[in-house]
A = this chain, B = another copy of it.
Amino acid sequence: MTFSEENYLKTIYHLMAVSDAGISTNAIAEKMETKASSVTDMLKKLAEKELVNYVKYQGVSLTEKGQLAAKMIVRKHRLWETFLVEKLDFSWDEVHDLAEQLEHIKSEKLINKLDDFLGNPTEDPHGDAIPDANGRITKIEKQLLSEMDKNRVGICVGVKDTSSDFLKYLDKQEIALGSHIEIIEKESFDSSFRIRVETKEITISHKIASNLYIK
């Protein structure tokens, strides 16, 4: 499988996690910053290889085979991110682009040894689940901070937006995975939140709150 094929599979996989319906050509093109015509070409090729179910004009979905292949790429991506943060001391906002390269290294043995070396982690530095060697995923029940009520407490276990900008903002506010969070007040006017992070009280916008997962 080529780099490009792998990137398409991964994109379709991520889009399927959001909407259950058939994934549209345009949605893929937009996410990959490419043109719809390029997507159509690739979908034909992936369909030929039985990695996707593709019917002209009706969007696309992964086959079982395609799903497993996609999961293996996601597995590699998240294990490499974990390696970079845990072992090489990168910060969580730096690792995504590197993992985009590393996820294409072809070797089952390598990734399984890396998995062992890291102690078989179940989540990556952004709180996202790492599929195991068989593609199995242990889901963690978590909730967006924006959907929680006043006075609730919990632990920050993940981020929805993993952009460098957002992660740096969280660093500045000293919000990290594992941080203890308490909802002090919800401002109905602008939907902002007054929260306590560990011992410190801060105000965050609704946008921030809707990108933080709490358990």
Contact = CB atoms under 8 A, between A and B. Distances in A.
Interface of A: 84, 87-90, 94, 98, 101-102, 105-107, 109-110, 113-114, 117
A179 B88 CA distance: 32
16 contacts: A84-B110, A87-B117, A88-B110, A88-B113, A88-B114, A88-B117, A89-B113, A90-B113, A94-B109, A98-B105, A98-B107, A98-B110, A101-B105, A101-B106, A101-B107, A102-B105
A110 B80 CA distance: 12
Contacts of A114: 88
A109 B105 CA distance: 19
Interface pairs A-B: 5 shortest CB-CB: A88-B113, A101-B105, A88-B117, A98-B107, A98-B110
Contacts of A98: 105, 107, 110
A102 B111 CA distance: 13
A55 to B, nearest CB: 35
A97 to B, nearest CB: 8
A102 B94 CA distance: 19
A101 B109 CA distance: 14
A109 B89 CA distance: 11
